[in-house]
């Protein structure tokens, strides 16, 4: 029997349901370029995420690249961001020919430390790109105040935050734009996919144009765009998965609570505290292995692996320490981010995880 446990497992609708749903494509032969299902999913997700405007994209990374491009920042401008994230966040900034300025994060939830942002602002700063890491919401209110004061744009990387609400409002309502990822490894997936939520219709139109090569008409191209359109097979997967999203979230919540209950009394094992103002999507199960634990983070990672359990060090190393970025940008004290990154481990966590699988993992951590 294959008893391998991976860090996550894609949620999928019943096979027959998807097969039935894709049948019309064999009549229409319309497979991509903002087809019927693309438009339908865009509208359904806009409603579900409770945002004014939503542009569906081929993946979360292109959503972020194009969201940044849409604001037309001058080349070489500075963007304040977090290094405690997936590499995509920093890549999207640099591929837009902007300079990342890395800001430290908070130990309490891994999000950008809003109290450190102001010190990093210079006359070249144009934007703040924070990350709602693991679905933990940033301090959106303070960040907005700073942005207003210094006339900066705020673009949230909400790749992990599908369905998260802050004070009862969809998380994509905050800032000038928020991007979501619908990758196969996410809470909600369209196989590959993503979206940008914006407050103003003019940005929706801009993004529509940018995701389709900047084409305005058959003989007119107005922007240096990309190809970032979601195809119809992915959109249909999204429509099917959306029917089950509330059940998926409930299954994740049950498993989350089980882990929390089982791990709470182990010395040196810490989990992030969930704020009462946030309704969570239980996207990941990150655990911090502190100095007084019987095992180090790396030893635990190896021990789990020996037992066919594949946890992941999301996010180690910091993106600022990756070979392609190391020593290239401003040197800033990232003490807390570095510490978190050395302690973090994401345990396997998904909606169909069995109690026996969770117990196997817990027993290893408990050394029993």
Nearest to 45 by CA among 170, 129, 157: 170
- Interface residue with ligand T4K among 89, 178, 212, 319 (CB under 6 A) is 89
Kindly provide the b/e burial profile for residues 324-358, where b requires at least 16 CB atoms within 10 angstroms of the residue's own CB: ebeeebeebebebbbbbbbbbbbbbbbbebeeebb
State the Cα–Cα distance between residues 350 and 263, nearest whole angstrom: 17
Which residue number is nearest to ligand T4K in terms of Cβ? 60
- Interface residue with ligand T4K among 42, 104, 113, 157 (CB under 6 A) is 157
Q: Is 8 in the site for ligand T4K (CB under 6 A)?
A: yes
Q: Is 285 in the site for ligand T4K (CB under 6 A)?
A: no
Nearer to ligand T4K, 293 or 318 (CB): 318
Contacts of 299-307 with C-beta under 8 Å, sequence gap 24+, read 300/345, 300/364, 300/365, 301/345, 303/364, 304/361, 304/364, 307/360, 307/364
Contact 216, 222 (CB under 8 A): yes
Q: Is 82 in the site for ligand T4K (CB under 6 A)?
A: no
The interface mask with ligand T4K, positions 109-148, x = CB under 6 A, is ----------------------x-----------------
Nearer to ligand T4K, 293 or 346 (CB): 346
Query: What number of chain residues touch ligand T4K (CB under 6 A)?
Result: 23
Contact 116, 104 (CB under 8 A): yes
CB of 8 to ligand T4K, least distance (A): 4
CA atoms within 13 A on the CB side of 28: 13
Eight-state DSSP code of residue 200: S
Nearer to ligand T4K, 198 or 293 (CB): 198
CB of 219 to ligand T4K, least distance (A): 32
Rg, the chain, Cα only: 21
Residue 169, both tokens:
């409002």
CB neighbours (10 Å) of residue 27? 7
CB of 155 to ligand T4K, least distance (A): 11
Residues 161-220 that bind ligand T4K (CB under 6 A): 181, 183-185, 194
Tell me how many degrees the CA angle 269-129-153 measures, rounded to the nearest 5: 145
Q: Is 237 in the site for ligand T4K (CB under 6 A)?
A: no
Q: Is 357 in the site for ligand T4K (CB under 6 A)?
A: no
Q: Pick the stretch among 27-35, 40-48, 83-91, 201-209 that binds ligand T4K (CB under 6 A).
A: 83-91
Rounding to the nearest 10 degrees, give the CA dihedral for residues 41, 42, 45, 50.
-150
Nearer to ligand T4K, 184 or 226 (CB): 184
Q: Pick the stretch among 156-164, 196-204, 248-256, 328-336 that binds ligand T4K (CB under 6 A).
A: 156-164
**Ranges of H-type helices in 151-263:** 201-210, 232-243, 245-263
Nearer to ligand T4K, 6 or 333 (CB): 6
- 22's CB contacts (< 8 A; 6+ apart) are 233, 236
State the Cα–Cα distance between residues 310 and 307, nearest whole angstrom: 9
The interface mask with ligand T4K, positions 286-325, x = CB under 6 A, is ------------------------x---x-----------
- Interface residue with ligand T4K among 126, 128, 159, 237 (CB under 6 A) is 159
**DSSP-assigned states of every residue in 75-118:** TT-EEEE-SSS-HHHHHHHHHTT-EEEE--B-TTTSSB-GGGTG
CB of 58 to ligand T4K, least distance (A): 8
The interface mask with ligand T4K, positions 9-48, x = CB under 6 A, is xx--------------------------------------
Residues that bind ligand T4K (CB under 6 A): 6-10, 59-61, 85-86, 88-89, 131, 157, 159-160, 181, 183-185, 194, 310, 314
């Amino acid at each position: 029997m294959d008893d391998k446990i991976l860090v996550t497992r894609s949620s999928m609708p019943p096979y027959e349901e998807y097969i039935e749903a894709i049948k019309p494509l064999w009549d229409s032969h319309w497979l991509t370029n903002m087809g019927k299902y693309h438009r339908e999913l865009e509208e359904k997700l806009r409603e579900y995420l409770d945002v004014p405007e939503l542009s569906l994209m081929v993946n979360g990374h292109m959503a972020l690249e194009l969201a940044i491009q849409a604001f037309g920042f001058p080349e070489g401008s500075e963007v304040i961001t977090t290094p405690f994230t997936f590499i995509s966040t920093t890549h999207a900034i640099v591929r837009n020919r902007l300079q990342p300025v890395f800001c430290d994060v908070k130990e309490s939830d891994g999000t950008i430390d809003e109290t450190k942002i102001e010190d990093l602002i210079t006359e070249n700063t144009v934007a703040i790109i924070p990350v709602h890491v693991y679905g933990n919401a940033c301090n959106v209110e303070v960040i907005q105040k700073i942005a207003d004061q210094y006339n900066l744009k705020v673009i949230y990387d909400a790749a992990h935050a599908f369905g998260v609400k802050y004070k009862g409002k969809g998380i994509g309502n905050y800032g000038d734009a928020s991007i979501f990822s619908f990758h196969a490894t996410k809470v909600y997936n369209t196989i590959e996919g993503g979206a940008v939520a914006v407050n103003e219709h003019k940005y929706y139109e801009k993004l529509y144009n940018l995701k389709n090569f900047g084409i305005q008409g058959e003989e007119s191209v107005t922007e240096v765009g990309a190809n970032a359109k979601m195809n119809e097979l992915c959109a249909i997967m999204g429509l099917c998965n959306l029917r089950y999203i509330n059940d998926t979230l409930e299954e994740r919540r049950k498993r989350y609570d089980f882990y929390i209950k089982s791990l709470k009394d182990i010395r040196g094992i810490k989990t992030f505290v969930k704020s009462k103002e946030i309704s969570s999507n239980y996207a990941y199960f990150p655990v911090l292995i502190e100095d007084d634990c019987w095992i180090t983070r790396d030893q635990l990672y190896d021990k789990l692996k020996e037992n066919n359990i594949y946890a992941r060090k999301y996010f180690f190393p910091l993106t600022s320490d990756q070979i392609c970025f190391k020593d290239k940008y401003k040197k800033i004290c990232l003490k807390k981010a570095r510490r978190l990154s050395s302690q973090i481990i994401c345990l396997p966590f998904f909606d169909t995880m069995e109690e026996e699988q969770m117990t196997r993992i817990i027993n290893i951590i408990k050394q029993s």
